[in-house]
Structure 1
Amino acid sequence: MSRASTKDVLNARRIVIQGVTGAGKSTAARTWAELKNLHVIDYDNDVLWMPASELPWTTYSTEKQRERVCRHMETGAWVMASCGPKVADIVYPETDVIMYLDYSPLVTFTQLFKRTMSRSLRSETCCNGNKESFRLSLLSKDSIFLWWLQTWRERREQARIMETDPNMPLVYRLTHPRQFQALVRYAADLSAD
């Protein structure tokens, strides 16, 4: 459609946060949801991945993903961390603003590396109870770093395409984490008044 203004973002009740792997979509969604009192939908945890206790690193079927995203969207006011292609036709028509974290490759890869190594060292879970490991991250064909390498260019281009697509919601593109932090401070200051 077109670029969103800061006012559009501040007034939005249904936001999707998009960006390349490692941009910090989940963290941004939790931060914004807490600030604006919105329900958080973490696409990886709530829609895409089956619980690790059932089938480790296995995604739900398309039908199940669509069912799960609809259930989460029933809250009416939400911020969603990422949105996959199997549910985009359900989510985007209900979305007020897409906040696109269009950060540089250096920023996203650095964040991804730190996050993945930290999770591996601490045996922290992600993606609905799954665990990253050094072997999976560094020595596997399913490496998150290999995924980043294969997808970052296309995903960054997606932000520019979305901004010009008349069928898309308004897009608010941020090019550095400092811009998101400034937006959060500005929104917090407005709430305090």
Structure 2
Amino acid sequence: MASVPGRIVVYGVTGSGKTTLAGKLAQRTGLPCHSVDDDLAWQPGWLPVPDDEQRRRITALVAGERWIIDGMFAKWRDIALPRAELIVALDYPRWVSLSRLVRRTVVRCVTRRRICNGNVETLRGMVSGDSIIVWHFRSFARKRRTIRGWAADPGVPVVRLTSPRATEHWLMSIDGP
């Protein structure tokens, strides 16, 4: 069994399962888990938290010695990355992340499940120009390049996982609290 350090970023393309993995990793390790979307990025009404406030919040969060965050935005990566002791990178093929994202989004639209500080996904939002599915296409290649760059020359240790099976195998190898 392997132990993990106390400050972990779970990073991946939109829809790869960052939040789910971060939660499972928190359960396994006892580390506190923080949702980037809930804690940093979104206010009710799908209003984005202003950038300066996001930077203030992430500065306070990563000042701690024990945490997991389920993503890392470019606008505050310069704050979080130097404090991270491990990056767990979900580098799945597009079909995996996109199929998960579409399925998750459709279910949330139908069930009206509240997410991101009480917000609700809608069918109209799902097909709009700024939908999360469009964002997946806009950001996929850039996020994969980032992951592969970190893996090739890590300033922080990187666990690059290329399939859900590899992710489950890695997670099961982690020591519990």
Global fold match (TM > 0.5):
yes
* Residue pairs, 1:4-153, within 5 angstroms: 7=2, 10-50=3-43, 52=44, 56-138=45-127, 140-153=128-141
Q: Which runs of 5+ in 2 are unaligned?
A: none
* Conservation of the 8 A alpha-carbon contact between 1:39 and 1:75: no
* Conservation of the 8 A alpha-carbon contact between 2:30 and 2:176: no
Give a deviation string over 1:62-86, Cα, whole Å, max 9, x none.
2100111123234421111001112
Paired AA for residue 121 in structure 1: V
Paired with 1:14 and 1:164, the residues of 2 have a C-alpha distance of 21
1:160 to 124, 145, 148: 148
Paired AA for residue 59 in structure 1: P
Paired with 1:40 and 1:94, the residues of 2 have a C-alpha distance of 15
Paired AA for residue 171 in structure 2: V
Paired AA for residue 23 in structure 1: S
SS of 2:74's partner is: coil
How far did residue 154 of structure 1 move? 1.6
Partner residue in 2 for 1:183: 170
Paired with 1:165 and 1:129, the residues of 2 have a C-alpha distance of 39
Percent identity at matched positions? 31
User: TM-score scaled to structure 1, two decimals?
Assistant: 0.85
How much is the aligned-residue C-alpha RMSD, in angstroms?
1.7
Paired with 1:72 and 1:129, the residues of 2 have a C-alpha distance of 21
User: TM-score scaled to structure 2, two decimals?
Assistant: 0.93
Q: Which runs of 5+ in 1 are unaligned?
A: 1-5
Paired with 2:138 and 2:80, the residues of 1 have a C-alpha distance of 25
Post-superposition, which runs of at least 4 consecutive aligned residues in structure 1 deviate over 6 A? none
Paired AA for residue 118 in structure 2: G
Is 1:173 aligned to residue 160 of structure 2? yes
Paired with 2:63 and 2:143, the residues of 1 have a C-alpha distance of 28
